[in-house]
């Protein structure tokens, strides 16, 4: 059949309709992808730093566990975050906070030196703790603060103890990175006593290493420890700090934090 102008108009109309449908489908697909991208962006993945602080935080074969993880996992999920946990020494965590890296660090004590670069979330509890001193049996006697003046003291880098001890420049302190190194150096005679704010953590190392020839000194210093999570003040995460802080405080106020700790047979306000 010969072609006519009418056929051209009809076919052109069909073609225009087809192109229109194709364009509409492209727009719809782009819209779906944009929505998916937006959802992915909102459900951001954030790095959280773990470190051995039993019984609140344990690290085994690279896996971080314990109530401090469970509390933060639940709180961040409520605001659309997913956490990736890494085992990181505390001095490096402090450095990352100072450098404004996007990390969340559990159990960071609030002190004036850290305020310029840290946003403190919570606290989820106020814990009664003691600064204790561990030495070899029969080797060093610490009955009062003044007895420390004659000793070499092993301390953990980045850890805050109590004001008098922290600022006392007359004391001879040797810094290390973790409890295992502290115990090894004590046994090797590198210092006389270990200062610790984490007796459960130190005790777990002593038990694992089967160390029995040590004892805690009679002298202890009682402190109140607010249990905070921390975000770098200059990090990209800082903008999310207010909402995460609100969720953590609500979990503490409503008893949710206590319920999580009780699953581990722990009291969030008294860690022994």
Q: What is the pLDDT of residue 39?
A: 41
φ, ψ at 21 (rounded to 5°): -60, -40
Residue 64 has pLDDT above 60, yes or no: yes
Beta-bridged to residue 217, according to DSSP, are: none
Same fold, 45-125+227-263 and 128-224: yes
Question: To the nearest whole percent, how much of the chain has pLDDT over 90?
Answer: 72
| Nearest partner of 111 among 49, 160, 144, 153, judged by Cα | 160
Burial class of residue 6 (count of CB atoms within 10 Å of its CB; 0-12, 13-18, 19+): exposed
Q: What is the pLDDT of residue 16?
A: 46
Is the link from the previous residue into 55 a cis peptide, with omega within 30 of 0? yes
Residue 62 has pLDDT above 60, yes or no: yes
Q: How many helices (H) and strands (E) does the chain have?
A: 8, 13
State how far the Cα of 144 lies from the Cα of 261, in Å rounded to an integer: 34
The 10 Å Cβ neighbour count of residue 228 is: 22
pLDDT grade for 41, boundaries at 50, 70 and 90: very low
State how far the Cα of 221 lies from the Cα of 203, in Å rounded to an integer: 18
Burial class of residue 28 (count of CB atoms within 10 Å of its CB; 0-12, 13-18, 19+): exposed
Q: What is the pLDDT of residue 112?
A: 87
Superfamily per CATH, domain 45-125+227-263? Periplasmic binding protein-like II (3.40.190.10)
Is residue 214 within 8 Å of 136, Cβ to Cβ? yes
Q: What is the pLDDT of residue 107?
A: 94
Least confident of 84-88, 127-131, 250-254: 127-131
Q: What is the pLDDT of residue 20?
A: 52
Q: What is the pLDDT of residues 109-165, one digit of tens each?
A: 898 889 999 999 999 999 888 999 999 998 888 999 999 999 999 999 989 899 999
φ, ψ at 176 (rounded to 5°): -135, 180
Q: What is the pLDDT of residues 199-242, one digit of tens each?
A: 988 999 999 999 999 999 999 999 888 999 999 999 999 999 99
pLDDT grade for 6, boundaries at 50, 70 and 90: very low
What average pLDDT does the chain have? 87
Task: Give the start-to-end residue ranges of the domains of the chain.
Answer: 10-42, 45-125+227-263, 128-224
The residue-averaged pLDDT of 42-55 equals 87
Residue 245 has pLDDT above 80, yes or no: yes
The 10 Å Cβ neighbour count of residue 153 is: 20
pLDDT grade for 264, boundaries at 50, 70 and 90: very high
Least confident of 17-31, 47-61, 134-148: 17-31
φ, ψ at 199 (rounded to 5°): -55, -45
Tokens of 214: 């040590």
State how far the Cα of 225 lies from the Cα of 41, in Å rounded to an integer: 36
Q: What is the pLDDT of residue 272?
A: 66
Q: What is the pLDDT of residue 141?
A: 86
- What CATH class does 128-224 carry? alpha beta
pLDDT grade for 43, boundaries at 50, 70 and 90: low
The 10 Å Cβ neighbour count of residue 61 is: 5
The 10 Å Cβ neighbour count of residue 226 is: 15
Is residue 118 within 8 Å of 235, Cβ to Cβ? no
> 209 in helix, strand or coil?
coil
Query: Long-range pairs for 63-69 at CB < 8 Å and ≥24 separation?
Result: 66/264, 67/260, 67/261, 67/263, 67/264, 67/266, 67/268, 68/106, 68/107, 69/106
């Amino acid at each position: 059949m010969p072609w006519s102008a009418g056929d051209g108009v009809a076919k052109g109309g069909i073609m225009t309709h087809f192109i229109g449908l194709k364009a509409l489908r492209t727009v719809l697909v782009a819209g779906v992808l944009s929505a998916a991208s937006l959802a992915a962006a909102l459900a951001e993945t954030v790095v959280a730093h773990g470190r051995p602080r039993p019984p609140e935080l344990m690290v085994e074969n690279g896996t971080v566990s314990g109530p401090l993880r469970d509390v933060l996992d639940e709180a961040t999920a409520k605001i659309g975050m997913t956490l990736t946990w890494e085992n990181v020494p505390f001095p490096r965590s402090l450095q990352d906070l100072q450098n404004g890296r996007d990390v969340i660090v559990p159990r960071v004590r609030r002190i004036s030196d850290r305020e310029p670069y840290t946003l403190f979330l919570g606290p989820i509890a106020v814990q009664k703790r003691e600064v204790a001193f561990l030495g070899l049996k029969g080797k060093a006697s610490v009955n009062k603060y003044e007895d420390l003046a004659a000793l070499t003291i092993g301390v953990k880098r980045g850890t805050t103890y109590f004001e008098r001890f922290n600022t006392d420049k007359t004391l001879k302190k040797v810094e290390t990175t973790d409890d295992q190194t502290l115990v090894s150096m004590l046994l090797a005679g590198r210092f006389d006593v270990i200062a610790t704010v984490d007796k459960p953590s130190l005790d777990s190392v002593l038990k694992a290493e089967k160390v029995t020839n040590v004892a805690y000194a009679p002298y202890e210093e009682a402190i109140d420890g607010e249990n905070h999570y921390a975000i770098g003040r200059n990090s990209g995460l800082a903008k999310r700090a207010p909402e995460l802080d609100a969720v953590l405080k609500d979990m503490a106020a409503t008893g949710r934090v206590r319920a999580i700790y009780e699953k581990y047979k722990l009291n969030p306000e008294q860690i022994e």
